[in-house]
Structure 1
Amino acid sequence: MEGIHRAKGFEKIVEPVRLTSKSRIKFQCYPGVPCFKLCCSELYLPLTPYDILRLKRFLNLTSDEFLLRYTEPFILPKSGLPIARLKMQDNEEKTCPFLGEAGCTVYEVRPLACRYYPLGFGLFRNRDEGKNEDFFYLVKEGFCQGLESGEEITVEEYRISQGIPGLEEPIFEWAEIIMKKESLGPVEVPEKSLELFFMVSTNPERFKSFVFDTKFLDIFEVDEKELVAIKEDELRLLQFGFKWLKTVLFGENLVKRRKESPSVKKVKPF
């Protein structure tokens, strides 16, 4: 199963345990724990579009500045889709770029994957019931001394305590795109489709320019109220982008096309 990390200072890798939202766990992390900050190095930490939006705002950076300074491109192994992941510092420990003496310097807007730790999260399509289902697993790294300590709570209680639900809802359709592509198997993805997915997923300024400064609005019909909203609100822009990706990549009619001219070349669906 994905999500297994090599224990720092230990040779043994402990298999994750599959959980539900009602499963009960014990975990606490604070500066007094001997292993504090040890989990903040040698990470392969994927960033969601909402992670990037919140972090670049917090740091008062443009998307281009944030991406160049703090991320590197990464291909998701199952879907083959490109995303951004956090780039570790070029030091011996390969520590997180946001790790300071007292801990996380961006704790208020820390990425979703950081909030989940020591839990992992998965999403799959239940074809029999025709709906998406999620699952969780507990990653037991050998160095972690916060496991099995503290008060026992359910997985859902832990998620709520970390502010996770409010950060997942805005990117649900983005996760669905990845899941749908995974379900297609090893299908060759056109380069243009990969570029569009990466742009929407990582760079709201570039996507906004793509919508308003190209022939986009000559090709797609967008309600005036929606146009005002996506021009003023980057989160609304992101969510519009997810619907548009579903339209051009999977043929879903979520953003309607205008009558096409012969000169317009359609993006080839997956």
Structure 2
Amino acid sequence: MAITELRGLDRIIVPIKLEPGTKFVFQCGPGVPCFKLCCSALYLPLTPYDILRLRDHFGLTTDEFLILYTEPFILPRSGLPVARLKMRDDAEKTCPFLGEEGCTVYPVRPLACRYYPLGLGIFRNRDEGRNEDFYYLVKEGFCQGLDSGPEITVEEYRQSQGIPETEEPIKEWAEIVMKKESLGPIEVPQKSLELFFLVSTNPERFRRFVFESKFLEIFEVDEETLSRIREDDLALLQFGFRWLKTVLFGEDLVKRRREVPREKKIKPF
């Protein structure tokens, strides 16, 4: 299939499904003429795990990190609110973590940065009742890294960029986004959007919501889980994703108590 020649900031998604064993050519680094050009004018949503890793890297509270480095963003296809990286207020709108030598937070860089120039999609296989990942190539006019470099498979590239260990903790979160996308442009209650944003961006506030509101009067949570989520932010995220699936989609993952306070229930999507 012929691909139109790209220039400057032109950007296309190559309409070819890539498998883990599919080979492509790519290199990036100081020796590539376009080095760092892909680190400007980004619309880069942060996953919940990205926020944890970057926050801890800087030794900040979640509130401090969100205020300094992010802004609210609505995911176009799902309509769900997330935090995205806030660009610098300069002419190029550069990434706040870009330095003279490249990325200054490279060991904890966001998942989307690790994937580039690949993109990830999730397909729901209804016949087998499971989700399947697929990949695609993103081509931008300025990128010369796709013109030369070593041949590598998609899975080899994922492993080399540390993608599996940063992707696995947010698989259930990605499933929530995908499921909402599949529902189409339905109206979502404001409370549901607020809960999704809370769990997706701020574990400290979500923890207070669990332990300092009437949450535990409404939902049954065993002592072992409570002990873990009091101290472990990653365990709290995993619990939060299961809870979101319960309240937003009606999945029976976090049990409701038989007798609960008389409050207005949260409507599922």
TM-score by length of 2: 0.94
Matched to 1:250, the amino acid is F
For 1:167-221, what per-residue CA distance to the aligned partner results, in whole angstroms no more than 9, with x for missing partners? 1111111011111111111111000000000000000000000011111111111
> How much has 1:259 moved relative to structure 2?
2.1
Whole-angstrom distance in 2 between the partners of 1:170 and 1:209: 21
Residue of structure 1 in register with 2:149 after alignment = 150
Matched to 2:189, the amino acid is P
Secondary structure of 1:39's aligned partner: helix
Residue of structure 2 in register with 1:81 after alignment = 80
Matched to 1:111, the amino acid is P
Larger deviation: 56-65 or 137-146?
Answer: 137-146
Secondary structure of 1:247's aligned partner: helix
Is 1:216 matched with 2:204?
no
**Shift in alpha-carbon separation, 1:261–1:86, aligned structure 2, 3 A:** same
Equivalent pair of 2:218/2:261 in contact (CA under 8 Å): no
Whole-angstrom distance in 2 between the partners of 1:209 and 1:12: 45
Secondary structure of 2:32's aligned partner: coil
Residue of structure 1 in register with 2:3 after alignment = none
Residue of structure 2 in register with 1:99 after alignment = 98
Whole-angstrom distance in 2 between the partners of 1:30 and 1:75: 31
Whole-angstrom distance in 1 between the partners of 2:165 and 2:209: 28
For 1:244-270, what per-residue CA distance to the aligned partner results, in whole angstroms no more than 9, with x for missing partners? 001111111111111233523221111
Residue of structure 2 in register with 1:3 after alignment = none
Q: Percent identity?
A: 74
Whole-angstrom distance in 2 between the partners of 1:245 and 1:208: 14
Residue of structure 2 in register with 1:207 after alignment = 206
**Shift in alpha-carbon separation, 1:268–1:252, aligned structure 2, 3 A:** same
Larger deviation: 109-118 or 215-224?
Answer: 215-224
Secondary structure of 1:53's aligned partner: helix
Is 1:63 matched with 2:62?
yes
**Shift in alpha-carbon separation, 1:266–1:172, aligned structure 2, 3 A:** same
Larger deviation: 122-131 or 75-84?
Answer: 122-131
> How much has 1:66 moved relative to structure 2?
0.9
Secondary structure of 2:150's aligned partner: strand
Count of residues paired in the alignment: 263
**Shift in alpha-carbon separation, 1:149–1:211, aligned structure 2, 3 A:** same
Secondary structure of 2:132's aligned partner: strand
Q: 1:1-270, aligned counterparts within 5 Å?
A: 10=8, 12-16=10-14, 17-270=16-269
Whole-angstrom distance in 1 between the partners of 2:247 and 2:145: 45
Equivalent pair of 2:217/2:261 in contact (CA under 8 Å): no
Larger deviation: 136-145 or 208-217?
Answer: 136-145
Whole-angstrom distance in 1 between the partners of 2:178 and 2:155: 22
Matched to 1:58, the amino acid is H
Equivalent pair of 1:74/1:83 in contact (CA under 8 Å): yes
Equivalent pair of 1:25/1:148 in contact (CA under 8 Å): no
> How much has 1:20 moved relative to structure 2?
1.3
**Shift in alpha-carbon separation, 1:11–1:34, aligned structure 2, 3 A:** closer
Whole-angstrom distance in 2 between the partners of 1:11 and 1:199: 34
Gaps of 5+ in 2: 1-5
Whole-angstrom distance in 2 between the partners of 1:12 and 1:93: 16
**Shift in alpha-carbon separation, 1:37–1:130, aligned structure 2, 3 A:** same
Equivalent pair of 1:126/1:132 in contact (CA under 8 Å): yes
Matched to 2:130, the amino acid is K
> How much has 1:148 moved relative to structure 2?
3.3
> How much has 1:115 moved relative to structure 2?
0.2
